[in-house]
Amino acid sequence: GVYNGMAIHALNALVGSMFAEGGLMNQMGVPYGPLPIRPQDHMDDIAKAAQDKKMPRFDRVGTKDWPMAKAMIQEMAKNQLEGNPYKLDTAMFYLTNPIFSALDVKQWEKALQEVFVIDTSPFPGETAMFADLVVPDHTYLERLQDAPTYPWRGYPLANLRVPAIKPA
């Protein structure tokens, strides 16, 4: 699992094999330049507090319970019902359907009854059934978007997906 991988990387770092000939290396991503705008100029006080780490993450990533996790969507229903670390008033789902993929569907259904739910799936789904507002996104064939290729070929790539058909 994750900790085995971390142990392997730690061992390679200890013996000096990181980025050495014959040792372990990983490809870096595409070196994008800075954004042409400053996101801080378009944030409200809540977003700025979250960015400044004054407001804890709702999924509690980085706490003693989940110190190494990147995201813990599976904990969000429980956190909402317990009010830990706080209660949400709105939940927006993009490219996810937690009621379909969750282990405890009833817990998610109960938690989503407490919040204003916005779902952006281009397809009708279980989470959309609980949504107060459905704002369907385009499918991947209809939208213009970046399509990053994760570095595995030895050099970074940046791709752009262009619409194959006009949105309906």
10-residue mean pLDDT profile of the chain (168 residues): values are 89 88 74 82 86 84 90 93 95 93 93 96 92 94 84 73 90
56-137: CATH topology: Rossmann fold (3.40.50)
Residues of the chain with CATH 3.40.50.740: 56-137
- pLDDT the model gives residue 87: 96
Three-class HEC string of the chain: CHHHHHHHHHHHHHCCCECCCCCECCCCCCCCCCCCCCHHHHCCHHHHHHHCCCCCCCCCCCCCCCCCCCCCHHHHHHHHHHCCCCCCCEEEECCCCHHHHCCCHHHHHHHHCCCEEEECCCCCCHHHHCCCEECCCCCCCCCCEECCECCCCCCCECCEECCCCCCC
- pLDDT the model gives residue 138: 93
- pLDDT the model gives residue 91: 95
- pLDDT the model gives residue 9: 87
How many C-beta neighbours within 10 Å does residue 136 have? 14
Cα distance between residue 90 and residue 32, in whole Å: 32
Beta strands 133-134; 116-119: pairing state: parallel
